Amino acid sequence: MDPNERKYANKEITVHWKPSTCIHATTCYRELIEVFNPRNRPWINMDGASTERIIDIVRKCPTDALTYEWNEDGKVSEKPPESGLSKGSRLEEAKDQPAEIRIMKNGPYVVEGDFTIIGSDGQGLKQMLMISFCRCGASEEMPFCDGSHRIENFTNSCD
Amino acid sequence: MDNNSKKKAEFRVLKNGPLQVTGNFTLKCSEGKVIDTKEMIFLCRCGGSANKPFCDGSHRRVGLRD
Ligand code: SF4
Ligand code: FES
Ligand code: FES
């Protein structure tokens, strides 16, 4: 289990967030900044929208960084639920697929598919299905995006 | 070279510089528009290129640090 994992609850559901799998693809905060705002602490505000809206966005997270479950008897649930995405089958699917690089508006490069990464020290980095590379120059976790592009107000889009 | 004979995509992070991409990959904008590329590309990581998404050498001026 990810020791940095956090949970956020309202009366109905508990949202779990695993920073280690979050690739800052920006899906959640582009769609629902009232709830998912990386500039705020805590960054997820469960009072910012209806439970239905929050579930909607959690389901759209491209990784399993965000998951949710219904609270039992109004109690905050301790255990993160199993991910909706099945890691095994996704790996199979991605195998031999060309890597797809998406240039996110005002954000990182999001890469999906079969690929390898070689770090700036010449060492291969661990194999991943999906990752986001910083393209704003401000990340503290180079070469990956850590969400800093928002604070930097990086603007660029090719759409 | 056709797609099938292409090798798995490789992303090489060049120190204080761009991201070199080779192998089997496609490049798209967020909304899905495909950008035609050469077989090897250098993507800007510093945010300062005037030719985004490609590197134009500006990282030296910007002072990108890994
Ligand atoms: S990976 Fe999921 S949790 Fe992380 S920023 Fe994207 S949508 Fe949000
Ligand atoms: S693009 Fe996200 S931190 Fe640079
Ligand atoms: S990395 Fe070379 S111009 Fe940005």
| CATH code, B54 | 3.40.5
Q: Given pLDDT bands bounded at 50, 70 and 90, which one contains residue A128?
A: low
Note down the domain range covering B46.
3-62
Tally of structural domains, chain B:
1
pLDDT (tens digit per residue) in A7-42: 999 999 999 998 877 776 677 877 898 999 877 888
- Give the CATH number of domain A6-91; options: 3.30.310, 3.40.720, 3.30.70, 1.10.8: 3.30.70
Q: Nearest C-alpha to atom 5 of ligand 1 is from which residue?
A: A24
Closest to A134 measured CA to CA, from B23, B65, B51: B65
Quote the pLDDT of residue A94: 63
pLDDT (tens digit per residue) in B1-57: 444 457 899 999 999 999 999 999 999 998 889 999 999 999 999 999 999 999 999
Q: Does B46 touch chain A (CB under 8 A)?
A: yes
Q: Does B48 touch chain A (CB under 8 A)?
A: yes
pTM: 0.70
A28: enclosing H helix or E strand: helix A27-31
When mean pLDDT is compared across A39-43, A94-98, B59-63, the lowest value belongs to A94-98
Q: Given pLDDT bands bounded at 50, 70 and 90, which one contains residue A61?
A: confident
- Give the CATH number of domain A93-159; options: 3.40.50.300, 3.40.5.90, 1.10.420.10, 3.40.30.10: 3.40.5.90
- Token pair, residue B46, equals 């510093």
In chain A, where does the domain assigned CATH 3.40.5.90 lie?
A: 93-159
Question: Is pLDDT at A84 greater than 50 in this prediction?
Answer: no
In chain A, where does the domain assigned CATH 3.30.70 lie?
A: 6-91
Centre of ligand 2 from the C-alpha of residue B3, in Å: 30
Closest to A143 measured CA to CA, from B56, B48, B13, B22: B13
Ligand number with the minimum distance to the CA of A138: 2
* Alpha carbon distance A129, A159 (integer Å): 24
Q: Chain A closest CA to B5's CA: distance in Å?
A: 11
* Alpha carbon distance B34, B60 (integer Å): 29
